[in-house]
Amino acid sequence: MHNITLIPGDGIGPEVSFAVKEIIDSTGVSINWDIQEAGEKAFNTVGNPLPESVIESIRKNKIALKGPVTTPIGKGFRSINVALRKEFNLYANLRPVKKLPGIRTPFDHVDLVIVRENTEDLYSGIEKIIDNDHVEAIKMISREASRKIGLFAFDYARKNGRKKVTAVHKANILKYSDGLFLESVREIKGEFPDIEYEEIIIDNLCMQLVQRPEYFDVLVMPNLYGDIVSDLCAGLVGGLGLVPGANLGDHYSVFEAVHGSALDIAGKNLANPLALLQSAVLMLEHINETAAARSIKDAINWILSRKERLTPDLGGIGTTTSMTQDLVAYIRKNSVGTLN
């Protein structure tokens, strides 16, 4: 029996989180879910977007599956995602982006992994009002965190049969901060002679990603670039409804999709559960529940070949509920072709 914290979140969060819970439970894997509220809903009900009970639950269970949470723009409480990543030192944000069968995109081959540093950079949240017309924000880069994420990227590449790590930066302009990031990753590369290493300036990366995404393998980068490049890469493979993620530290892990709370479609039963479901697959693999992960992957591959059953973001006429029912039915029957 695994104890796992489930944070449904805001907007489409509860829709996709409970869908994914139902799908995971249908595999028969034994999970005791500890459901915890965080985000805007928690702020409105208990006055704290990250109640202590959420921290305690993750500290106890060590693993969480998290729906997206809303962060107010330009005012209000600070991101609880950033707070959670700092609290549990979830220094690596892993986002595999893969072209999936059945999804039509301009690219035949996209299979890359974004490794985003998750604890510093402009996300340090240190901003200062200088006067009415000037503000400053601190971009914090440390050798320790940069080395750690560099090591994570190379180690991930080696363990997962990847061939190349590309460090992404803007050290031509940010000579000290991105310069230190780059220097730290370079220090690591010597330990991995079997992995090819390249460096690329962030703006050039963006252009090349939309021209020849097949060229890239593992991409390692500071926090802000990782955030932006993740959404860009989601666009290469069919959108945010598909791309999973994992926030990993040495002792704790929080699995969540790349997408946010999607307020434009919240409550309409239109949210695609596959991004969070694929994050759950990463989670099941992480806790060595490989059979459950396999059967969910099989079900995902099956539903991707039935376009009409998918949610509208993928061109279908399905709903969150109908996709969940289809996936659960497929997993229960566990045989290809019983649903058509």
d(CA 145, CA 171): 17
Quick one: how far is CA 195 from the chain centroid?
24
Residue 278 binds ligand NAI (CB under 6 A): no
Q: Give the CB-nearest residue to ligand NAI.
A: 260
Catalytic residue among 34, 99, 123, 330: 123
203 among known catalytic residues: yes
Write down the least CB distance from residue 290 to ligand NAI, Å: 25
Backbone angles phi, psi at 337, to 5 degrees: 90, 5
In the bound state with ligand NAI, the residue whose beta carbon lies nearer, of 90 and 165, is 90
In the bound state with ligand NAI, the residue whose beta carbon lies nearer, of 196 and 231, is 231
227 among known catalytic residues: yes
Residue 256 binds ligand NAI (CB under 6 A): yes
Quick one: how far is CA 256 from the chain centroid?
5
d(CA 218, CA 206): 15
Residue 90 binds ligand NAI (CB under 6 A): no
Write down the least CB distance from residue 191 to ligand NAI, Å: 32
Write down the least CB distance from residue 188 to ligand NAI, Å: 27
The conformation of residue 203, written as its DSSP 8-state character, comes to H
Query: In this chain, which stretch among 19-27, 197-205, 268-276, 324-332 interacts with ligand NAI, using CB under 6 A?
Result: 268-276
Q: Are 294 and 331 in contact (CB under 8 A)?
A: no
With H, G, I as helix, E, B as strand and everything else as coil, classify residue 281. Answer: helix
Catalytic residue among 227, 313, 326, 330: 227
Q: E strands, 48-151, where?
A: 63-66, 92-98, 111-117, 127-131, 134-137
In the bound state with ligand NAI, the residue whose beta carbon lies nearer, of 98 and 259, is 259
d(CA 124, CA 82): 8
Binding mask 219-248 for ligand NAI (x = CB under 6 A): ---------------------xx-------
Backbone angles phi, psi at 3, to 5 degrees: -100, 120
d(CA 256, CA 245): 5
In the bound state with ligand NAI, the residue whose beta carbon lies nearer, of 237 and 275, is 275
Active site positions, annotated: 123, 170, 203, 227
* Interface residue list for ligand NAI (CB under 6 A): 12, 16, 68-71, 81, 240-241, 256, 259-265, 271-272, 275, 313
